[in-house]
Amino acid sequence: MTLLLDPLTLGADTDTDTDTDTATVVARNRLWVAPMCQYSAEDGMPGEWHHVHLAQFASGGAGMVTAEATAVTPDGRISPDDVGLWNDAQRDAWAPIAAAIRRRGAVPAIQLAHAGRKASTWSPLTGRRGAVPHAEGGWPTVAPSAVAFDGFAEPRALDAAGIEEVVAAFAAAARRAVAAGFDVLQVHAAHGYLLHQFLSPLSNRRDDDYGGSLQNRARLLLQVCDAVRDAAPHAVIAVRFSATDWAEGGWDVADTVTVAGWVAARGVTLIDVSSGGLVAHQRITTGPGYQVAFARAVRAGVDVPVSAVGEITDAAQAQSILAAGDADAIMAGREWLRDPHFALRAAGELGADMEWPAQYVRARRR
């Protein structure tokens, strides 16, 4: 059986403590495009680059295409060149992109994000590193505590009103995302950005209801998930976690499994498992599929689909991960950049039948 090319239903009935009926979305296969920042926006607006970039993956057979980290507030952007969804003009710019993905047979998804203390940094496309000075378009950053990421500006610790504003911003962005035509909304709680900063004791030094215990550190994420679910009751809600900080005393796999269970119980119906990004002194051992074991651990602890990501670059490898029961779907990134028709290629490599775009059928057989 070619599990990689089997459909996957997301949002099917699960045991939750909510009264909200979860949406149901069917991905045509389980080889998906992970969110990848393009640093190519002006004033948060996606443009022609984003349209072509994302639509090509749907033409190439992807089951789901996830738009990059999309800031819910202007100060939540990683860089001045990031996309956003904090106003209606951005919503309207995203609409034809989501429609193009859907027309080509893939599920349109978007990652909603706030960079927290890792905001206001130079895009890697500029060749510069570190915080953007205010004189050159930078802005003050926020975080759970006034603890800077190494080499970046010190953030301001969010007060109660600031936390409420963050939750409201995620909800507003969720409403705009659905209005733009996205079926899956991924809450970004990974890679050292704001929600991950609250989760990890390395960045969260608070002594109020949002700090200290695991339950307190997860409080903001749970509130965001509730707000996004309430704002978009007919969308599939996903969460991306960094399963470990790769640093002593930090967030770890056991924490991830526990909190993944909590968000699943509140209506989240897809968990995406990555790792790292919180601290500069992290020590990561990479290699093909180096994060798959984290996905396996989370999958064993939750009753919703789990996707794996991280140096998954060929069809046989992706198929073996699913066949072993380590994940329900594959999020790939760089391999899609190398080959926007990765799924069509994968079908050929696995000897499986897959529908090609009519315009490309002439190239199906050599």
Residues annotated catalytic, as ranges: 193
Number of H helices, E strands in the chain: 11, 12
* Distance (Å, whole) CA 270 – CA 9: 10
Contact 198, 204 (CB under 8 A): yes
The rounded distance, in Å, linking the Cα atoms of 340 and 354 is: 16
Distance, in Å, from the CA atom of 245 to the CA atom of 284, rounded to the nearest integer, reads 9
Long-range contacts, stretch 12-18, CB < 8 angstroms, 24+ apart: 12/269, 14/264, 14/269, 14/303, 14/304, 15/265, 15/303, 16/264, 16/265, 16/266, 16/267, 17/265, 17/266, 18/229, 18/266, 18/267
Q: How many CB atoms lie within 10 A of CB 270?
A: 26
- Whether the Cβ atoms of residue 301 and residue 259 lie closer than 8 Å to each other: no
C-alpha span between 306 and 228 (Å, rounded): 19
Which of 40, 38, 123, 36 has the alpha carbon at shortest distance from 78?
123
Pseudo-torsion of CA 227, 223, 73, 171, nearest 10°? 0
Q: β-pairing, 8-10 with 107-113? A: unpaired
CA atoms within 13 A on the CB side of 78: 22
